[in-house]
Amino acid sequence: MEKKSTRYGLLLLISSLSGAPLAAAELDELAVFEQSELGEGGFSVSERREMEQAAKRDSRKASAVPAAQRPRKAITTTGRDGKQWTVIDTAEGSETNKKSDVLPRQSLYVKSDVLDDDVIRFDVEDGAYVQSTDAAVGWSAIDSASFSPEDSAALPTANAKPARSASPSSKSKGGLGGDSPSRGFIRTTVVQALNFSPEVGNAMASSTAARYDIDQVKGQRWPQVKVGVSSPMSSFGEGTRNDYASDVGDTSGSVSVTTRIYDFGKTSSTISSAEESFNASQHTIRLTRNQIAFETISGLLELDKYRKEIDVAKAYEARMASLVNMLQQIVQTDVGRSSELVQARSKLLQAKTNVQQIETKWRDTQIRLTRLLGRNVNLPVNLKWDDSQVDAGSVLYALNDHPQILRAKAQVQASLHSADALESSMYPNINWVVAKSNAKDSSGVEQAWYTGINVEWDLFTGGSASASQKAALQRAQASRKEFEATVLELKYRIRSMVEQRNSSFARAKDYRALSAETDRVRTMFYEQWYYLGKRSLLDVLTAENDHFNNQVAAINQQFDGYTANINILAESALLLDWLSISMQ
C-alpha cells in the first residue's frame, strides 16, 4: 500500500504542476484509492474531475505561449517513501513526465538561489525522474545550451559534493585571492565611485594645499627681497625740513634683501612639520578612497541581498496565490470551506506586504548607490562574494601599513616638529641684510648701499612663547595617545568582526539546513491536508510561513558574513588591494 500511495501521490502532484489531465482509467483507479485510503477528508471524484478540467484550461492557455518563452522549473518534493524527488518541468510546458530525450545531452543543469551552490549537473536516465541526494531547495533549471561539452564535463553531478574553490588565504597577494568576473564587476563599480566622489576630490585638494604649505615654508630659507616706494606730499609743523622730501617730485625707492643666517632650527622644524602634515594628508586620501570603496561595496552587497530576498518573497507570494486560486475553485463546490479561503487570502496579503517592504529597501539602497556613482547599478545575475574572505593573521599583519595608523604617526611627528619650531622661536634670529634707498637727505645727498648683520630677539613676550611651546608638546602627547588608541581599536574591531563573520556563516549553514527540513515539512503538511485531510490549512500556512522565514534568515546570515568580510577588509585598509586598485 505504501508504494501505491507514493505512486498516486506523485501522479497527482505531477498532474497539478504540469496541467496535464489524468486519463480516465487513472481517475477510476484513484477513485477506488480515495474511498479506501483518503476517507472523509479527501476530495470526491467529481471534485477531482472539476480540478482536472480547470487544470486543462490553464494548460491550453499556457500552450499559446511559445515554448522558448516558457520558464523551465525544477520542483522538489518529498514522496511517502522518504526520498527527495525533483520533478522536471521542461520548456515543453505540460510534458513534465516525458522521457529524458527531450533534454539536450541527457543532462539537466540546475542551480540553487537559496543555498548559493554552484551549478550542478543531473545526469538523466531514460524515463527516470531526477533524484537529488543533496536535499535540494529552490532549484531552478538553466538552459543547457549555454554549456559546452567541456563545461558540462567539468561540472559536479548531483551525486557528488560540488567542488569548492580554494580559500583566499591560500592564494597570492597576501591571502587576498585571485581575480574573478564578480570581482571585476565590483572593481569597475568602485573605480567609477572613486572618480565620481567629491569626498575624494576634497581630500586630494587638501593634500595639494599641504604640499604648497611645504613650499611656502621652504621659501623662507631663500633671501627675502623687499621693494618699496616713498612719495612725500608736504612737510608741516616745527622741526627741520628736508627740501628734497617735500613734494611728489621727491619720490624715492628702496630695496632690501634679508637672508636668514641662523634661527636655531626654527625653519627646518617648521619644514619638517609641514612635510609630516602633507604625509598625513596623503594617508587621508587613502582612508577616504577606502571608505568610498567600502560604502560602494556595502551597497552592492545589500542590493544583492535584497534581490535574493525579493526572489524568495515572490516565490512565497506565488505559493500563497496558488493556494488561494485552488481554494476559490474548491469553495465553488464546497461553501463550508470558505474559512480556509479567508485564511489563505490573509497570508497572500501578508506575502504581498513582505515583497513591497523588501522592494522599498532595495530602492533605498539603489538611491544610495546612485549618490555614490551618479547612476543606477545593474547587478550581474550570479554575483559571487565567497572570495572576499581573508584570514585574521594576514589582516593583523597588514595593520603595519594601515593609513589610519600611519596618519596618526605623521600627526604625532608634525606636532613634535611644531613644538621644536616654537621652542626655537624663543631664541634670536640672525639675518644678513643688504639695503639701498635713493632718498636724499637735507643736503641733497643720496644714501649708499648698506649691508650688515641684523639680530632680532623677542626677549620678553609675557610668557606667551613658552605657553605656545608647552601647548604644542601636549598636542603631540595627545596625538601619540590617539595613535595608541587607534592601534588597539583596530585590532579589537578586526578580531570582533572575524568572530562575527564565522558565527554568521555558521548560522547561515544552520538556517539552510533548517530551511531544507521545513521544505520537507511544508510539503508533507500540504500532502496530508490536500490528499488525506489529516492536517488543517492553518498547519499548511504556518509551515509555508516558517519555510519562508528560514529562507530569508539564511540569506540574511549569509550576507551578514559577507558584510563582515568586507568590513574586515575595510578596517584593515586592504579593500582596494583586494580589488587591485591603487591606493592613491
Which of 21-35, 95-109, 286-300, 446-460: highest mean pLDDT?
286-300
Cite the residue boundaries of each domain of the chain with CATH code 1.20.1600.10: 198-231+246-578
Instruction: Determine what percent of the chain is predicted with pLDDT higher than 90.
Output: 28
pLDDT tier, 228 (very low <50, low <70, confident <90, very high otherwise): confident
Q: What is the C-alpha separation between 394 and 510, in angstroms, rounded? A: 28
Q: Cell for 240?
A: 627741520
Structure confidence by residue, pLDDT tens digits, 486-516: 888 888 888 888 888 889 999 999 999 999 9
Q: Is the pLDDT of residue 10 over 60?
A: no
Q: Cell for 418?
A: 611644531
Q: Is the pLDDT of residue 56 over 70?
A: no
What pLDDT score was predicted for residue 237? 60
Asked if 292 and 199 touch (Cβ cutoff 8 Å), the reply is yes
Structure confidence by residue, pLDDT tens digits, 285-326: 999 999 999 999 999 999 999 999 999 999 999 999 999 999
CA 143 to chain centre: 29
What pLDDT score was predicted for residue 487? 84
What pLDDT score was predicted for residue 408? 87
pLDDT tier, 465 (very low <50, low <70, confident <90, very high otherwise): confident
What pLDDT score was predicted for residue 443? 67
Q: Is the pLDDT of residue 163 over 80?
A: no
Q: Cell for 464?
A: 606667551
Q: What is the C-alpha separation between 29 and 423, in angstroms, rounded? A: 105
Structure confidence by residue, pLDDT tens digits, 60-78: 444 444 444 444 444 444 3
| Higher per-residue confidence, 244 vs 347 | 347
Instruction: State whether the Cα torsion 178-183-189-193 is positive or negative.
Output: negative
* CB count in 10 Å sphere of residue 132: 20
| Higher per-residue confidence, 5 vs 377 | 377
The CA-CA-CA angle for residues 243, 246, 252, to 5°, reads: 100
CATH of the domain spanning 198-231+246-578: 1.20.1600.10
What pLDDT score was predicted for residue 582? 76
Q: Which of 111-115, 301-305, 479-483, 561-565 has the lowest mean pLDDT?
A: 111-115
Q: Is the pLDDT of residue 166 over 70?
A: no
Structure confidence by residue, pLDDT tens digits, 416-435: 898 888 888 888 888 899 98
As to burial, measured by CB atoms within 10 angstroms (0-12 exposed, 13-18 middle, 19+ buried), residue 316 is: buried
Torsion of CA 566, 569, 571, 572, to 10 degrees: 170
